[in-house]
């Protein structure tokens, strides 16, 4: 579900030189049915593409670093779109400043209109905080080296703060951080994460889990830090759900590794709720290595999420 936008002129011709624009995006995922456009539901991608279409007066398609599930948030999401040089310069209108600044300023206005059409609960839920012409070879999805997520959990030691209920999981049992970390360490590295994923047709579930660790903050909240080269659908929530069973004593710490080795998705796979999950960062290589990274990723596996 998105704003109704009409376009008085066609998309740029294939012979026009194009610029790739990198966007930095943050959003509260609560009002949306995830990142990816759906025909009858509000999505982050749909809102952004409708806003950009209003500015450019043509359909726009974004490529994103990582597609987030319904209710999942982002501080460090990255996407790109391609525009002509004329369109890029035209964003300034009568200004003489940077087109990137004009894009950010004008997107605030059009997103207000688009998100208002979705409903008052979506107002200010999406912010484009960075725009720039991307280096040669940049691809928001395939150039990425890693995606990093956080997940916040309040057990009885932290208490229940109703002002944070939209971004913290209330867990009824006490959590042992050492047990959480022992379970997490056992599955860190390259592996087949089928047991924790909803696999996509013809897509591999082999990933490199680069970091999976838990810390208890001074306020008592337990924070998971999860980073991988890429994530399968539901993989972070599956890993958190499994680790919590070890952390509160329902399972021993070796059980999460046993699940990994079993490579089976069944009723023991418990997905942690989406609302505490935040995409914090997408990591890219140096500019000179962007194109090579994109080529290597495309050759190795598809799709990445």
Residues designated as active site: 69
CA distance 158 to 149: 21
CA neighbor of 214 nearest in space, from 158, 142, 130: 158
Q: Strand 222-228 vs strand 277-283: parallel, antiparallel, or unpaired?
A: unpaired
Task: Look up residue 16 and give its two tokens.
Answer: 């026009």
Dihedral through CA 63, CA 69, CA 71, CA 76, nearest 10? -40
Q: Which of 19, 244, 94 is nearest to 154 (CA)?
A: 244
CA distance 34 to 214: 25
CA 188 to chain centre: 20
The residue among 119, 125, 124 whose CA lies nearest residue 1 is 119
């Amino acid at each position: 579900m998105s704003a109704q936008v009409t376009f008085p002129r066609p998309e740029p011709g294939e012979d026009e030189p194009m610029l790739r624009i990198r966007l930095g995006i943050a959003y509260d995922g609560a009002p949306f049915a995830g990142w990816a456009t759906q025909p009858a539901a509000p999505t982050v991608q749909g809102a952004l593409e409708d806003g950009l279409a209003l500015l450019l007066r043509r359909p726009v398609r974004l490529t994103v670093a990582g597609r987030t599930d319904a209710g999942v948030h982002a501080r460090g999401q990255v996407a790109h779109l391609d525009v002509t040089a004329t369109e890029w310069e035209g964003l300034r209108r009568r200004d003489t400043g940077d087109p990137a600044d004009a894009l950010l300023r004008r997107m605030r206005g059009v997103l207000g209109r688009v998100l208002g059409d979705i409903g008052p609960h979506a107002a200010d839920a999406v912010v484009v905080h960075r725009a720039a012409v991307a280096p040669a070879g940049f691809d928001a999805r395939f150039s990425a080296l890693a995606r990093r997520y956080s997940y916040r959990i309040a057990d009885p030691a932290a208490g229940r703060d109703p002002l944070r209920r939209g971004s913290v999981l209330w867990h009824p049992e006490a959590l042992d951080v050492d047990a959480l970390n022992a379970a997490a360490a056992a599955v860190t590295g390259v592996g087949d994460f089928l047991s924790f994923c909803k696999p996509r047709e013809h897509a591999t579930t082999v990933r490199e889990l680069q970091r999976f660790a838990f810390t208890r903050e001074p306020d008592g909240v337990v924070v998971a830090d999860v980073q991988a080269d890429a994530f399968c659908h539901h993989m972070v929530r599956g890993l958190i759900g499994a680790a919590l069973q070890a952390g509160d004593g329902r399972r021993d710490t070796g059980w999460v590794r046993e699940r990994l080795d079993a490579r089976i998705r069944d009723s023991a796979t418990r997905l942690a709720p989406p609302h505490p999950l935040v995409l914090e960062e997408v990591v890219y290589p140096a500019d000179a290595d962007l194109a090579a990274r994109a080529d290597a990723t495309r050759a190795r596996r598809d799709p990445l999420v």
